[in-house]
A = this chain, B = another copy of it.
Amino acid sequence: MSSDYDEVCRLGRELSNWGRWGDDDEIGTLNLVDAAAIRRGAACVRDGVGFSLALPLGEGGPHTNSIPGRFNPHHYMTAIGLSVPASPFFHFSDDVVVLPLNAATQWDSLAHVHYEGRLYNGRVADEVLSVGGAARNGIDKQARHPFATRGVLVDVARSRGVDRLAAGTAVEPDEVDAVLAATGTAVESGDVLLVRTGHMRTFLVDADREAFNGPAPGLGLAMAPWLRAHDVAAVAADNVMVEVTPSEDGSTICPLHLVTIRDMGLLLGEMFDLEALASACAEAGRWEFQFVAPPLPFTGGISSPLNPLALL
């Protein structure tokens, strides 16, 4: 499939969710996380085991620190065992971080990307302010919705019998369908799709931040219609951008971001650590689970770090 910007525009119009949940909507496909989805998610909890899908937030994080605005969090102590003069028995510690909201495991909000001057649901891009950030579509809006539903893991690397996909490999709908069929899993409206490429091993096993942040396997642009047809609430992956980089046509930048976030109002989850979860799914022989992953309500925030849980 071509993925130049004409194709982005065409797909954007075709898959658009603008107006679907009202002209004032600021949460997009999170609307699909309804009572049925919340119950369906909870019903997946059988073994009572759970997994944190978050990378560490600290100097040991996944960023290379070479791009301004994208660095591993700085952590400073504001109290270390402090006491108060009147009460020397009591001691406390406190701390503060300087935290890029795109540090490590995160959701991109519906204000993260745009084209032709418009954000999701037709908001003008100028509503992302130099002071205050996203006046519309910010992560604080999405954080108010109870983001708990069923998650479905598509372990592409395991399905291919490889440690990880090569950089630049696009994951396409046929393969996703085949993996789902092989694992006997069906995706329903309001589910979240988690795609494992194995690219996370470049950071976690190889400790190679440069390579982890460089070209990577990920979703091809053809996944956009698939995600829309299945009405997933969000998609997350174990790489930096969710989508394949460089893009399939080699010239466009993040075409899947543009169509999913801006036109579909779909949240993208980046740098999710799926390693332990994938092993557990393979052992249990089921790839569905309760998935609880609310972002934090940063006012006007463009993204939010979080600690997503998968419960089997």
Contact = CB atoms under 8 A, between A and B. Distances in A.
A122 interface: no
A257 to B, nearest CB: 8
A294 B307 contact: yes
Contacts of A78: 68-70, 76, 100, 131
A230 interface: no
A254 to B, nearest CB: 6
Given A57-B297, A306-B307, A80 B128 contact: yes
Interface in A44-80: 45-52, 54-60, 65-66, 68-71, 73-80
Contacts of A28: none
Interface in A115-131: 115, 125, 128-131
B307 A75 contact: no
Contact of A35 (B48, B65, B112): B48
Contacts of A101: 94-97
A301 B42 CA distance: 30
7 contacts: A39-B46, A49-B146, A56-B297, A80-B130, A93-B111, A96-B101, A297-B307
